[in-house]
Amino acid sequence: MFIDLHMHEMTYSKDSLLALEEIVDIARVRGLQGICITDHDSMGLKEYAAQYSEKTGFPIFVGIEYFSLQGDIVAFGIDEYPRERIDAQKFISYVKKQGGICFSAHPFRNNNRGLGERLNELEGLDGVEVLNGSTDIEANQKAADYANRLGLVSVGASDCHVPEKVGIYATYFPEKVRTLEEFIAVFKRGGCRPAYYKHGKYYLWDMPKAAAAV
C-alpha cells in the first residue's frame, strides 16, 4: 500500500491551506491507501483524525514534525512531545524509549530546518526523507545518498500544504496497515520504499537512476 508520510492540516499547521476532509478526498482520488498528518510541533488533530478515519474507513495516522535544535524530525508512536525545543539526539532517544519511529525530514533543504550533515552523528533514526515535495531534486538525491550509506529507510512524502501537492510523493508499505501499531511494526520490519506519483499511478523510486525520471 502507498501512504503519504508527511502532510500538514490547517487546524494546527497555520501555513497549510488543507482541511482533513480535502486531504482524504484527494488522497483517495490519487490512489493513496493511507495518510499521515504531521503538523508542526503539534499532535492536536489526533482525536478528530481518529474519529474521521473510523467514519470514512480510510487510515489516518497522526505523528508530528518536531523542530529540534538541529532540524526537523518526523515521529510516530509518542503520546506527548517536548514543549520546548531540545537537541535532536535527545528527541530521537525520547521517541525510541516510547517504542516509536522517527525519520529526518528534508535534511538538505536550503531553509535551515534540516539535519543536514548531522545525519552522520545521530544515533537511532529509523529513516531519511529522500523524496520531499517541497525540496529540489538535488537536495533529495543527497538525502538518498546518505540514507543508502547509513543503512536507513528511504522515505517519500509530499510535505503538502496545498491541494496540488497532496500525494505527489509517498512511501510503499509491503503489508496492509490499519492501526498505528501495525504501521510502526511494518516500518520497523523493513521493505518500505519511496514512490512518486505520475500519470495517475505510483511508481517505486529506485536510486540512483530515478532523479532524472521524477
Whether pLDDT at 213 is above 80: no
**What is the reported pLDDT for 206?**
83
Contact 31, 203 (CB under 8 A): no
Distance, in Å, from the CA atom of 17 to the CA atom of 22, rounded to the nearest integer, reads: 10
For domain 2-212, the CATH superfamily is Metal-dependent hydrolases (3.20.20.140)
Cell numbers 525545543: residue: 85
Predicted pLDDT at 40 = 97
Whether pLDDT at 211 is above 90: no
Query: Strand 193-198 and strand 201-204: pairing?
Result: antiparallel
Q: How far is C-alpha 173 from the chain's CA centre?
A: 13
Average pLDDT estimate for 89-105:
98
- Taking only the tens place, the pLDDT of each residue in 177-196 is 999 999 999 999 999 999 99
Distance in angstroms (rounded) separating the CA atoms of residues 108 and 206? 19
Strands 60-62 and 64-67: unpaired
CB-hemisphere CA count at 13 Å for 138? 1
Per-residue confidence (pLDDT) for residue 202, from 0 to 100 = 98
**Average pLDDT of the chain, as a whole number:** 95
Residues 165/131, Cβ–Cβ less than 8 Å: no
Q: What is the pTM of this model?
A: 0.95
Give CA–CA dist 148/144, Å, rounded.
6
Per-residue pLDDT for 174 more than 90?
A: yes
Q: With contact defined as beta carbons under 8 Å apart, do 6 and 65 qualify? A: yes
Least confident of 8-22, 38-52, 200-214: 200-214
Q: Is the pLDDT of residue 81 over 70?
A: yes
Q: Write out pLDDT tens, residues 104-155.
A: 999 999 888 999 999 999 999 999 999 999 999 999 999 999 999 999 999 9
The pLDDT of residue 208 is: 57
**pLDDT at residue 82 above 50?**
yes
- How far lies 1's CA from each of 62, 117, 138, 176, 204, in Å? 17, 31, 27, 6, 11
List % helix, strand, coil for the chain (3-state, nearest 5). 30, 25, 45
